[in-house]
Structure 1
Amino acid sequence: MTKNKTRFFTALLISIITIICVIYLIAPNQSQPINHSIMVEHPTDQVSDNTTETFITPSQEHKTDLIEDTDNYQYCERLIKADFSDGYSWASDQYKSWERYLNQGYTLDEVTLVVEHFLNSNFAAEFRVEQLRLHSDLSNQNQQLNEELQRLLSQEQISGLKLEVVRALPAAGLIGYVSLTPSKKVTLLQQVTPSVDDIAYFIGQSEYSDLDIIELLNSVIKPDAIVGYDKFEAISLLDYAVISARVTVVEKLLQLGLKPSEDSYLGSTMEWALRELSRSTTPERRNASAKIVISLNNLGAKARFKTRSQSKIYGIFPRNSFSFNAKEIEGLIADYGLELTLIESRYNLFESKDNLLIDKGNELLVQLTHQQAEYLSKRLNIDNLKQQVTSCKLTVDTINRAWQPESSKKILRRVIAKHPQSPHQIELTLAAIEPSLVDCYLITSDSDRRQEQYLSDVDDLFQPLKNGKVLDVIDQFLSLNLTDQNKNWAFFEILMWDLSFYDELINSGLMVDELQYYSFNSRMLSPKSLDKLAQSGADLNGVDSRGKTLLYYAVHQSNLALLGYMTEKQFPFSLNDQGQDPLHAALDIIHYEFSPDKLVATVDILMGYSPLIDQFHLSRMALLKLKYVDVYRQVTAKYPQLKVQPETTLPKTLCGKSYLGYP
């Protein structure tokens, strides 16, 4: 390192260290990036290279109070979830030191596939690309910076901290290159040599033209060097140019001798090109991407395909995919003479966990599988865990197949098509089939749904709220040129500062659309918050635009304290005979918030309202009996009116917003 560079790094690091120390003294319990170049972390337990197993102290937190019974759906459901979540946690802990297996002589392909086997392809791709970048210029520069940092700081100064310094991109001398005159650009490039990482960064900046990139590229010493810049899981400058659909830059790189990449796990250059072509949303982007695919195809670049026919092209690679339907395939042939089916296929390293290109008897896979099994057996306190999990999966699958509901979406489409001009008739028809369908219909057809639109750069406007000056804040927002959606957003954001501001808000110009019960978040659905809202004049005893009371939404929170509070305060049960009532909602065992452990207590509270029991309550009870027979017995022992009758059938379907994907 030259004297000038040494002085530069020393000055830089002293400044960095000063900032780090000040921040660390102010907030010793935080672990936040300070800026794009410096990161401060509190280290977790480190695993040494010679570690062979990593056990967390086994606990009983997952041990169920149910009797071990692999024919019992509830027991099996808990066991399978615990086995998966704890197994995943074990593998996540291993992820901190997967590279030690490379040091033990295992190949990168082996370790990559083992990471995928125990975690998923995202983790595997991240691990693999990190290893491939280890010897990039950027990684070496970062290593030098961190070694310099270590020399400048004593062990006492860095105790309890993990400091990391990374080189900022682009290089300081290249900042603002795009705004220079042509002559100044030439002068600058005589003084500063761009790296492949600088070029990779600039390629992704839309304000830089292809000509700018090529001018910079002409000054790069090794354009085929490994890219350490981590915007994408790619290490070739050619891939970065392909991802940005810069056809001229791609052609230049090919002229410079760069070859299409074909890593055995990460996306190949052709796969990135097909991804970009399939995502093209403008004629210009489609044209550029198509030209790139043609150029790569002429060079014999390959891609992995899951499906390849005249009717469908589909392929996947870590975190990404590409897909073309018959019309798109034909369009590419007509417009560019590009026949996707003629692109050469390459071998798929990671097709599926059941088809790994790693022998099931692979030493590393066997070793870690044994360690994981031993860990899980101790953690869950079950000696024959593998046998139980296998039996339980069969039990759960068998019971699940006993109920084959019709698709809610298909029913909705069918009924809506039959009565296109009569929302009332649609609701009546759906209610006769299954009340949850009415709720889904109201969600999808809610044209009056309260719309919000985020406002940027207004954080300072909220500051007076710290002193309770809500009227000042409202006035500041009203002085802006706001849409109704902006006003709705500001209304809700101010309300979240303090729910007691509700009275001032509803009497202000920010009040556009009434706040609906369905938009109440978990913070608002609490006894303390509801008290505040009530004291501020909010009507909590009506229904929202979907005909639901607050009690209905509280049921899905599975919060017994909240339900008890609402009962005590005499919140209404249901004021609408269409759609689900709160008891229907409580008995919906496929809702993502359903908790069998809380159902008996929830039913206790709701039965206090003496609801009229209908066939849809009983059909849900039939499903409860099928899957959670112990809970069914407890409920019906207290409330015989909920017992399943001989004529009771399982629900025709169950529909909810979590299935439709609507808020």
Structure 2
Amino acid sequence: MKKWILFTVLALIALLLCTLVTTSNVNSTYQKTTLIKANDFQMASQLNNTKSKKTTNFEPESYNQCDKFIKTYQKHKNQIGRNINWEKFLADDYHVDDITLTIEHIQNSNFASSWRVEQLRKGSTLNKSNNDIKNHIKDLIPDLPSFFHIEKAVPLPDLEKINDLNYHDAHNLLKRLTLTVDDIAWLITQENIPQPLIIEALNNQNLNKIIGYDKIDAISLLDYAVNYNKDSVVEFLLDHGATISNDLYLGSTMEWALKNLMVQFWNQDQKEKVLKSINIVKKLIHLGAEARFSVKNEFEIKGDFPRQFYQFKELEIKKLYEEYQLDLIQISERKTLVVDKQSELIQRITTKISKNVTKETSIKNSISTFHNCRKMISKIEDSWKPKPLKHFINQLSENKIPITKENLQEIDPILATCYFKKENPFRIEVIENSPSTKQIFKALNEKDINKAISIAESKEYSMKQKRWLFYQVLGWDTAYYSELQNSDLHQSKFNYRYFSATKIESIKSFVEAGFDLDYIDEQGTTLLHLAIQKRNLILLKYLLSENVLLDEYNLSDDLLYLFLRELSKFTEEARLAFLTELMALEPQINHHHLRAMSLFKMRNQEQYLEIIDLFPNFAITDKTPLPKAYCGFY
């Protein structure tokens, strides 16, 4: 062991020396640049000081003023949240719960969850082993840079091969290796490992030991098994003394089970997986496991925990009860931590945020201004009372009117876009953590597309998994489109929902590889829609310069409406630039466009006047109604 550590240290020293030698010229240039920037900053500060900015109270007068102020306040809030070393507050005698809730308030529940689970993992054997390695290396090389990290591998390198072995060889491998609970947690995450092998590995393990492996925000083997739908493993763990988790902030065992049930229930074509998830929930109900709920009645069951959620509609609740004898209403509700905005720590951080905002804006009453602005915006937004997609679907059904794109567009064009996205038949199944996908990505990293495809074709992937891989490889390089379409991963129908490569170079490579710029997918989406959704003006200009077939599909009106509905999300500079490009297409302005402009005027009176000065056709009156609909969950 000592020889291994010494060898590793010597290798790191050699690498470090090499890095220092080869980058010395770069560093000297960087230092000069940094000094110039620092001097510029000092000069700016001196100018500000000589002007002696006066702080004043501020009374917001418009939605736009408030929107800008809230963004400034949020910017400083996020900066402070990112830069704080939250752990230092433990030394100030603040409880983990206090710090967790403060992080949620200042940042969000995802950051709070990550920090909390990191604190809980400090009690894990993996964390202690990593600290021992770190301290040993530090003793040998006191000046080792902080960016060097040496950690224990999870899983054991030999264990990674298990996915490629038959049952007999996998069994022998597990007998030969000395596994930790973290290795077993990794085993649980693997889709194709038979559950009896995992159960065999669990023998002679402490089933309640803290998991240091960080695939999900959970620290127990039981929660890992529940989340990855390993029903036999769950049963074994519960029968042999594993404890149901019920942390006051993180997901409880039942919450992971409900999230898993929802996911499996979406995939009705895999009934065996659905049955496994149902059996897990039933077992936990029998043991009195609890969950948090925001809604729990016979019409809807809904809840969430950091990074996850679960939701069941009336028909799903009824089907689970009638076909599987699973009554979700039986699940007991649990208490969790609740943010107290008046807590000492939150007040302490909020005061710091306020000082920074005041320094930038000269607004003295920044905290009260922030709250007043939020009230003003809420009040204005509340004056708009659109109905969700579900309302209009029910309305059409009651009146025996077919649910078609044309009928939905007549009510509000946003409804057609929304409906056909919700009714997406092209679902995917993510498999990023499997050894085979790691091999595929390694081949892609080596720019060997043929090797990547060969690995993929040697595996028995489902259609949903193939679809996921297709778009992952395409995201790597759009030039691979031709090879993908000539492989077992090919897609007969392309779907823009999973396409993210919108840089011009990528689009050009895409076309060179055989993709049709004019392609419209099953949801009626084109690359032009994508340019607006991604707010990519360069892409929009390129597509229009290539004379895409707008007239054939009457897209110009739809594109304009999509843009106008999203107008508030664009920067002030981008709004006019986009609108100029779209108006050059000479769309016919109709009542839907004017409704959308009415919504924008409500939010930004100042720029509305700028727009109608350039394009008078968008002028509206006080009687122009707001849009009827929004794209709510269906």
TM-score, normalising length: structure 2: 0.69
- Name the structure where helix makes up a greater proportion of residues: 2
In the alignment, which residue of structure 1 is the partner of 2:250? 266
> Cα distance, 1:397 vs. partner?
1.6
Matches of 2:344 and 2:610, distance apart in 1 = 50
Equivalent residue pairs, number: 580
Match of 2:597 among 588, 596, 621: 621
> Residue 84 of structure 1 aligns to which amino acid in structure 2?
Q
Counterparts of 1:434-449 in structure 2 under 5 Å? Answer: 434-437=412-415
1:164 lines up with 2:150 in the alignment: yes
Q: Secondary structure, in 3 states, of the residue corresponding to 1:163?
A: coil
- In 2 relative to 1, CA 511–226 (structure 1 residues): closer, same or farther, beyond 3 Å? closer
- Structure-2 change in CA distance of 1:112 and 1:512 (3 Å): closer
Aligned to 1:122: 110
Looking at both structures, which has the greater relative contact order when contacts are Cα pairs under 8 Å and sequence separation is at least 6?
Answer: 2
**Separation of aligned partners in 2, 1:242 and 1:480:** 30
Aligned residue number for residue 35 of structure 1: none
- 1:70 and 2:60 aligned: yes
Residue 580 of structure 1, aligned match among 557, 561, 571: 557
Q: Give the aligned partner of residue 604 of structure 1.
A: 580
Call closer, same or farther: CA 1:288–1:335 in 2, change over 3 Å.
farther
Task: Note the C-alpha offset of 1:636.
Answer: 1.6
1:507 is displaced (CA, Å) by 12
Query: Offset of 1:643 from its aligned partner?
Result: 1.6
Say if 2:518 and 2:548, in contact at 8 Å, map to a contact too.
Answer: yes
- Counterpart-to-counterpart distance in 2, 1:555 and 1:173: 46
Q: How many Å separate the matches in 2 of 1:520 and 1:125?
A: 28
User: 1:587 is matched by which residue type in structure 2?
Assistant: L
Supply the distance in 1 between the matched residues of 2:452 and 2:169 (Cα, whole angstroms).
44
Does the aligned pair in 2 maintain the 1:226–1:235 contact within 8 Å?
yes
Q: Does 1:637 align with 2:613?
A: yes
Q: Which moved more, 1:160-169 or 1:105-114?
A: 160-169
Long gaps (5+) in structure 2? 22-44, 49-57, 265-272
Amino acid at match of 1:13: I
Q: Name which of 135, 144, 161 aligns with 1:147.
A: 135
Q: Which of 72, 76, 80 is the aligned partner of 1:82?
A: 72
Q: How does 1:80-479 map to 2 (within 5 A)?
A: 80-94=70-84, 97-155=85-143, 158-159=144-145, 161-166=147-152, 168-169=154-155, 179=168, 196-197=181-182, 200=185, 207=193, 209=195, 213=199, 217-218=203-204, 220=205, 224-236=208-220, 244-245=230-231, 246-254=233-241, 260-269=244-253, 281-287=273-279, 289-294=281-286, 296-297=287-288, 304=292, 306=294, 316-320=304-308, 346-350=334-338, 353=339, 356=340, 361-411=342-392, 414-415=395-396, 426-437=404-415
Q: Provide the rounded CA distance (Å) in 1 between the counterparts of 2:329 and 2:485.
A: 64
Match of 1:650 in 2: 626
Q: In 2, distance between residues paired with 1:513 and 1:277?
A: 29
**In the alignment, residue 406 of structure 1 is paired with which amino acid?**
K
| Matching residue's letter, 1:653 | A
User: What does residue 55 of structure 2 align with?
Assistant: none
After superposition, the Cα gap between the structure-2 partners of 1:240 and 1:653, relative to the gap in structure 1 and judged at 3 Å, is closer
How far residue 637 of structure 1 moved from its aligned partner, in angstroms, is 1.9
SS at match of 2:94: coil
Could you list the runs of 5+ residues in structure 1 that have no partner in the other structure?
A: 1-7, 30-56, 61-67
Range with bigger deviation, 175-184 or 409-418: 175-184
**Distance in 2 between residues matched to 1:543 and 1:342, nearest whole Å:** 46
Q: What is the rounded CA distance, in whole Å, between the counterparts of 1:121 and 1:394 in structure 2? A: 23
Per-residue deviation, 1:386 = 1.8
CA 1:309 to 1:162, structure 2 compared with 1: closer, same or farther past 3 Å? same
- Structural RMSD (CA): 5.8
User: Separation in 2 of the partners of 1:405 and 1:525?
Assistant: 35
Taking structure 1 as reference, are residues 484 and 619 closer, same or farther at Cα in structure 2, changes over 3 Å only?
A: same
Quote how far apart the aligned CAs of 1:87 are.
0.7
How has the CA–CA distance of structure 1 residues 74 and 163 changed in structure 2, closer, same or farther, with 3 Å as cutoff? Answer: same
Q: Deviations over 1:20-64 (max 9, x none)?
A: 5677688899xxxxxxxxxxxxxxxxxxxxxxxxxxx9999xxxx
Per-residue displacement from partner, 1:153-189 (whole Å, max 9, x unpaired)? 241xx23633232364459899979857999988x69
One-letter amino acid matched to 1:14: L
Per-residue deviation, 1:607: 3.8
Q: Structure 1 pair 305/163, CA: closer, same or farther in 2 (3 Å)?
A: same
Secondary structure at the aligned position of 1:165 is classed as: coil
> Which structure has the greater CA radius of gyration?
1
Deviation of 1:633 after TM superposition, in Å, equals: 1.0
| 1:239–1:75 CA distance, 2 compared to 1 (3 A) | same
